[in-house]
Structure 1
Amino acid sequence: MARRLLTILLLSTAAMLASQAQNADGRIGTCMNEGRWFDLAHELNVTPADSVNPILYKMAVAMTHHYFNRPDSACTVLGDLLNNHQEELGDNTLSMAVLMGLNLARTDRYAEAADLMQSLCGQLEAMGADSTQTAGLSIMA
């Protein structure tokens, strides 16, 4: 009986911890999707990093650095995401690369920003995107 009670207690604790992690991911994701940057910064301050999906956490950190005018810090986090986690970023890769270009320009690294934007345009065109789809990126380059 004691074993059964202990097992139930451990399983319910594990379920509660998993639920809290999902809730943290949900709260952070909602703040990002809704552009609530002050709320996002608060969530990052009160939520332990190990209770959030690591890629989501890094994206959230990059976004707060970007929107709170810390372009050097944003470039560091975005560089890590783009160099080490492109597969996990999936469809967000392009957005993170554009954000990287913007932050490179904010740190007066204009040549790097232009090279990145031109590279993105070339990659998109190679994938079949036409000039109307890449026009915004071309202007940035």
Structure 2
Amino acid sequence: MRTVALRFAENFAPDCGTIAAHRELIEQTGHVWYGKLGGPVSYKTAGEILDDDDPRILLIHSGGQDRWWAHVEKIQRETPPIDEIPSYYRNSAEDFGCWFKVVEFEPADRSVMSQCVVASSGRVLSSASRHSMSPYFIIDYAAK
């Protein structure tokens, strides 16, 4: 499966945390939009993600051990309806270059990073992410 791994931090998140804040909106509306700061993923990569039987992206907590699969049903560059974005980053919605419509968050297996290969380098994600400041990686995931 081809997808992306995105780093996330808790710098601006509410006390409940990034994932919990997003889950609250899923409970209310059935989905939430998760924003990627900076440039968007390419249309090609977005298409590859959405073509999978179970489209999802991997979220990696920077400096932490949490890894989450975010199951997505849409990827877009346009800012979604503001009430479908967690309140803590509604005021900075224009800073996000790409949006993922998430319908579920699922904890990823502890070994997920060793099961992902970075498409551009062929390196295992667990190694590549330690030696790179990149906010995201295009990865190929093969569950063991």
Which one has the bigger strand percentage? 2
Q: TM-score range by the shorter chain?
A: under 0.3
Q: TM-score, normalised by structure 2?
A: 0.21
Higher relative contact order (CA 8 A, sep 6+): 2
Which one has the bigger helix percentage? 1
Q: TM-score, normalised by structure 1?
A: 0.21
| Greater C-alpha radius of gyration | 1
